[in-house]
Structure formats: C-alpha cells, structure tokens
Amino acid sequence: MRPDLLNPLFAEITALKGVGPGLAKPLERLGLARVVDMAFHLPTGWIDRLPREELDAADAGRVIAITLVPVDYRVSAGRGPTRVHAQDARGNIVSLVYFGGSSGWVKKLLPIGEARRVSGKLETYGQELQIIHPDHVLSLDEADGLAEREAVYPLSEGVTSKRLAGFAEQAVARAPVLPEWIEPGLKAARGWPDWRHALTRIHADPADAKARERLAYDEVFANQLALALVRGEARSKRGKPLMGDGSLRARLNLPYSPTGAQARTIREIEGDMAQDRPMLRLLQGDVGSGKTLVAAMALLIAAEAGAQGALLAPTEILARQHYETLSRLLAPTGVTVAVLTGRDKGRARESTLMGLSDGSIQILIGTHAIFQEAVSYRDLGLVVVDEQHRFGVAQRMMLQAKAQRPPHLLVMTATPIPRTLTLANYGEMDVSRLDEMPPGREPIETRVVSEDRLAEVVEGLARHLAGGGQAYWVCPLVEESEKSDLAAAEARAESLRIRLGDAAVALVHGRMKPPEKDAQMARFQSAQAGVLVATTVIEVGVDVPNATLIIIEHADRFGLAQLHQLRGRVGRGGGKSICLLLRGGQLSETARARLALMRETNDGFRIAEEDLRLRGAGELLGTRQSGDMAFRLASPDQMAELLPAANQDARLLIDRDGGLSGERGQAARLALYLFERDAAVALLRSG
C-alpha cells in the first residue's frame, strides 16, 4: 500500500487549482491524469529572455523583455493584423503585431500612453522592428514576476506552456521532503541536489543539468532496484526441477538441423529447467531466427518431466498461429496441445478447462485468457511468454501464480532490444540471443519508392500476383480522418479491388470481429486471395511462405523496429523476397536515416541500436505497447550512462545496506512507490 506521505502527489489532476473537467481532457492527452504526472512532466527546453532598456536591431531573432509605451494603433481592414506602435525610453519605435479577432482586446491590453513590460521575439520587417504576438504584456507592478528564463513544455491543443508552468509549480509544491535513497558517496561524487530540490530546480531552470541528471538517476535506480528485488524473490523460492529424458524430442521429424544459436539456447534452457531454482530467461531472436522451435523444445522438456507448459501470446491471431504451428510440429510426439482465447465459449471452453485441471492437456497456447481466475492447471511447470514487450511484470506474475510452485519462465521477443534497454527492462533475467539465421533464408531486398510512383507499384503488384505470388499491403490507419491524409486500409483495399478484382484482395484490421478477421486471413493463407491489405495487426503472427512481397505505405511514418517486424512477414519460404517502402514527399532527417538503414541491413540487432539513437527520448521500441516499462524522466542517453551506477547501487542496498528494512532501504521503498515500481514491493513477504 502506498505510504500516506506520497498521497498528495497521487491525487487526481483536478486537485490543482485551475484544472476543471474541461481542461482535464487536454491534459489527459499529454498523459497528465494525476498531480505526480504533472510534477514529472519536465520541460523539454527553455526561452532565455533578455532584459533590455532600449530597442536594438542587433537583438533581432532573440526574445527580449522591455518597457514600452503604446503611442498609436493601426487597424487593418477585414481580417488583417492590428499593429500597436510603441516606443522605448529613448523614443525608438517597435510594432506589436496581432493577427485575427477584434482589435478591441488589443487596445484594452495596450492602452495609449500607459507603460507596459512587453516580452517577445524581436524581428525586422523591412526597415521596421516588430514583435508578433508578444508572449507577455504586463503592467509594471506585475513585471517583477517575469523570469529571465522560461520553461518550454510538451503541449497539447488547448493548453499553453504558461499554464503548464503554473500547474507544475503547484504540483511541485505538493511534493514532500523525502529521505535520501542514493548511496551518500555516489551522491557527493556526482554533485547531485536532494530529490525535492532537483524537482523544484528543473521546472524553474530547465538548463540545470545536475537537477535533470539526479531525477533521471532516481527513476533508473528505482527500476533497477525493483528488478533486483523481483529476481531475488524469484530466486529465493524453490521451483520444481524438470529433467526431460529426450524421449519426446527424439520423435520430432525436423526437416533441418537446429542452428548453432538454437542448439546453444536449448542447452541453456535445459540446464535452467533442471534446477530447483525457477528459470528466468529472456530469449531474443531476430525475425525468422527460429524462436518457435526453441519454445517447442522447452515445452517438450516440461512434458517429458510430467509437467504442463503454457505459451502466452499477445493477440488472438498470434495465439492461433502458434497453435497451428506447434500442433503440426509436435504431432509425431503425441503430446496434447490446446488453445484458449477470450472468444472460446461454452462446451469447447469447459472441455479445455477440464483437460488442464486433470492434466490430459499437456501444452496450452492462448492469450491473457489462460491466466484468468477460472483456469487451473494440474501441474504447471513452464510458462513461455511471446512478444514480451507487450506484457508487464505484474501480468507475468499472475500467470506464475497459477502453479503450486513457481514455474520456470521463458520470455521471448522478436523485437531485438538494445543492450541498454535489455538491462533496464529485463535486468532480473538471464539473456539468450539467437544471432544466426536458419539455412536457406535469403536476405530480404528492401527498396524505397516515392508515393508518386504508386501507379507503377500497383502494376508491379498485378504482375507479381499473375506469376502466382502473394503479397501484403500495409497501411497505418483503418479509416480516413479529417486530421490525416494517410491512406486507409479500407480505401486502399477498394482501389486494389478495382484493378485486381474483388476475389484477389483480402482485408484485415483491428476493428474487425474475430470471425470476420479469421475468414479473411484464411482466404489469404489458402491463396484464394493474392494480396492481404492490413493495418499493423499483421506485425506479428502471420506466416504465409508464398507471400514474397510486402508493400508498406507511408513507411516514413513508422518506427524502425516496427518496419523491421513488418518486413519479417516475408522471406519465410524459399526464394527471393522484396520489401517496398513507399515514402512521402517531405521527409525529416530522422525518417530519411531510418529508410536508408532499412535498405542497408536486415540485422535486427543493429536496427534496434540505431532506432534507440535516432528516437532519442521518444518511443523506444518502435511503438509503445501496453506493459512497457515507461521511463518518463530518463532519456535513453541518460539510461546508458546511469545504468551501471544504478545497478551497482541497487545491489549494494540489498547486499550491504539491509535491503528494504534498513534506513536507506526505507527511503528506497518510497522511491519504488514514487516511480510506480511498487509491484516489486508487493511480491516481497515483507511488502
């Protein structure tokens, strides 16, 4: 339970003066639902305001603060601007320009002959000086509150930076003084201020590097401590050793030998599962590197030892894809495999639940439905979680709670993760990497094509289908929006039907009902449809070896990791595969760099590292998924720099300073709650 000391920070955002229901909505779009969110909504930059006594053309391009006296108004006809001519103490003239609306409020703001302290960006217009829409116009009595440095915040429509600064000031005022959780020697060596002082400073002066670094460290430290506690708690519990005799694995009819990386990883997993300490292992594998085979081997080891295994997938499409793949792969072994998703109802569901309870079902594959309250296992020994970045620690632990003793846990991701983020998000786990591709998989050829050549691309697609091939066409939105010119999947499918015929085109998107989605997928998988038009719902879980062409529309709008995932839908059979990235006309430097890298390499691990570098403090793994470990205060660069110290400090606290029960540990417990890593505390018996 969160300590009462922190309750003022975790109040609703409406607890701040001036935030009513109307303003709460735009704030929520910024992720600001509580006071603590506002306190941690750090400025991304600042404006330096130069105090000046007189106007000087040399200051053009800079924000100045100067005392001016309005001398006359020039009101344009129609919707033209209102100009207020004002002079400084020496009689130099500047035009204060306001566009739109009535001139009445401008005259009220700047009455003739009354001095005002004016702030804004000074510009030249011909021979004149001007300030367009000054950001501050204050009476001389109010001018004392005009800071020389003003914070600039990330904004949403309907909220100004000035208002956010006021809310942030209120939020920080509610922050309590907290005991110190950083090891004293480290804090002194780094020259960091106390936590509350750092929070106050960063909003008052966003250029304060020490304050920013201190807050970033706190978040990274809380995360590392949480992971260390989870790991320690999991390791302290006795699990059930699962030693397979190889009898089921020997019955597999594999058409190929495992790669060296697969064989090495299977040995690591087999060694882990033979221990009475539960396995905690992260398996990273690039698209097509053979993670499914490794998972199958782990599940067979559990079955050989008389235990059950469960494979958790993030989407129904992926769960059913795994079920079909593993059912075929494991058929020679005689192992009973079942599937359970949210749409399974009635007798079929009851039959599955009974099979799990009496142990006749040895392997269960499904979505989050497999750890619902009604689902019980006779002897759950192994849990495999696919696409780990879509599940949080709490969800993993819910599934583990289904076993009499903690089961072995293997989590997999097809999104290669930069080493920095691996340590940050999965620091409690041992890590295996599949860094080899199975033989016969040719590199996918990637080409970047301007959307101006759309007609040529469609004609090329028609030739591809005429030759017996199949293709994906990926669009980023489901339907047209007034706010976006992105091509919608529905509109694209319709245009392709006109050229290729109705029967040639299948359509899948996230708003479809499951039966409708399955029917469309079945048409494509059985080659009744030649092209599947889809949103990013096909990012994972679709395996059609005959599909050797993928066209990604508006590719410049996607993150690198997501582009790499989508590209991995092709190249799954023999022969050459092609990925066409359709780009818009106006490319940012970042988008240009992304597309160039995609053309240059198929190496997902290299792409992941570059994605982290290009995205900076933005989204870290292509798109944020539910369950991500969000870092609000620490940028990726700060994480890379601060992680080693935070990791060492967390271990020092646990090994030397009495864990959470010592004096520093009590302070660190507050940090876990403050940065919402308290799931780790709840796992502890002392929690």
pLDDT of residue 396: 56
pLDDT of residue 600: 92
**Contacts of residue 104, Cβ cutoff 8 Å, sequence gap at least 6:** none
Residue 149 CA to residue 162 CA, distance in Å, equals 12
User: Residue 84 is inside which H or E element, if any?
Assistant: strand 82-87
pLDDT of residue 521: 86
User: Residue 308 is inside which H or E element, if any?
Assistant: strand 308-312
- Cα–Cα separations (whole angstroms), residue 257 to 71, 287, 404, 432, 439: 87, 18, 36, 19, 9
The answer to whether residue 574 scores a pLDDT higher than 80 is no
The answer to whether residue 382 scores a pLDDT higher than 60 is yes
**Contacts of residue 364, Cβ cutoff 8 Å, sequence gap at least 6:** 308, 309, 310, 311, 337, 338, 339, 340, 352, 356, 370, 377
pLDDT of residue 158: 78
pLDDT of residue 661: 86
Q: What are the backbone angles phi and psi of residue 662, rounded to the nearest 5°? A: -75, 180
The answer to whether residue 626 scores a pLDDT higher than 50 is no
Q: What is the mean pLDDT of residues 454-460?
A: 95
Give the residue with greater pLDDT, 436 vs 272: 272
Residue 225 CA to residue 558 CA, distance in Å, equals 33
Question: Per mean pLDDT, which of 148-157, 257-266, 482-491 is the most reliable?
Answer: 257-266
The answer to whether residue 624 scores a pLDDT higher than 50 is no
Residue 302 CA to residue 72 CA, distance in Å, equals 86
* pLDDT single digits (tens) 291-350: 999 999 999 999 999 999 999 988 887 888 899 999 999 999 999 999 998 777 889 899
Residue 398 CA to residue 381 CA, distance in Å, equals 14
Report the length, in residues, of the chain: 687
* pLDDT single digits (tens) 126-150: 889 999 999 899 999 888 778 888 8
pLDDT of residue 649: 93
pTM higher than 0.85, yes or no?
no
Identify which of 550, 590, 556, 552 has the alpha carbon closest to the alpha carbon of residue 570: 550
* pLDDT single digits (tens) 630-684: 688 988 778 878 988 998 999 899 888 778 888 899 999 999 999 988 766 665 4
Give the residue with greater pLDDT, 544 vs 382: 382
pLDDT of residue 685: 34
Q: Amino acid identity of 86?
A: A
pLDDT bin (cut points 50, 70, 90) of residue 478 is very low
Task: Determine what percent of the chain is predicted with pLDDT higher than 70.
Answer: 89
pLDDT of residue 176: 96
First to last CA, the chain: 8
Task: Determine what percent of the chain is predicted with pLDDT higher than 90.
Answer: 51
Q: What is the mean pLDDT of residues 230-242?
A: 80
Beta bridge partners of 477: 488
pLDDT bin (cut points 50, 70, 90) of residue 4 is very high
pLDDT bin (cut points 50, 70, 90) of residue 214 is very high
Give the residue with greater pLDDT, 215 vs 416: 215
**Contacts of residue 108, Cβ cutoff 8 Å, sequence gap at least 6:** none
pLDDT of residue 378: 93
**Contacts of residue 22, Cβ cutoff 8 Å, sequence gap at least 6:** none
Quick one: tokens of 42? Answer: 């750090």
Residue 624 CA to residue 626 CA, distance in Å, equals 7
Question: Per mean pLDDT, which of 157-161, 221-225, 515-519 is the most reliable?
Answer: 221-225
DSSP assignment of 551-619: EETTGGGS-HHHHHHHHTTS--SSS--EEEEEE-SS--HHHHHHHHHHHH---HHHHHHHHHHHHTTS-
* pLDDT single digits (tens) 22-56: 888 889 888 899 999 999 999 988 888 999 999 99
CB 15 within 8 Å of CB 33: no
pLDDT of residue 687: 27
CA 563 to chain centroid, in Å, comes to 15
CB 325 within 8 Å of CB 290: no
CB 240 within 8 Å of CB 309: no
Mean pLDDT of the chain, nearest integer: 86
Instruction: Give the three-state DSSP class for 206.
Output: coil
The answer to whether residue 426 scores a pLDDT higher than 90 is no
- The DSSP output letter for 134 is -
Tokens 């600001």, residue located: 32
* pLDDT single digits (tens) 593-614: 889 999 999 888 888 878 777 7
Residue 128 CA to residue 123 CA, distance in Å, equals 8
CB 449 within 8 Å of CB 581: yes
Residue 172 CA to residue 14 CA, distance in Å, equals 15
Q: Amino acid identity of 239?
A: G
pLDDT of residue 628: 40
Instruction: Give the three-state DSSP class for 340.
Output: strand
- Cα–Cα separations (whole angstroms), residue 531 to 66, 286, 291, 389, 458: 64, 25, 27, 29, 11
pLDDT of residue 146: 81
pLDDT of residue 399: 59
Q: What are the backbone angles phi and psi of residue 330, rounded to the nearest 5°? A: -95, 0
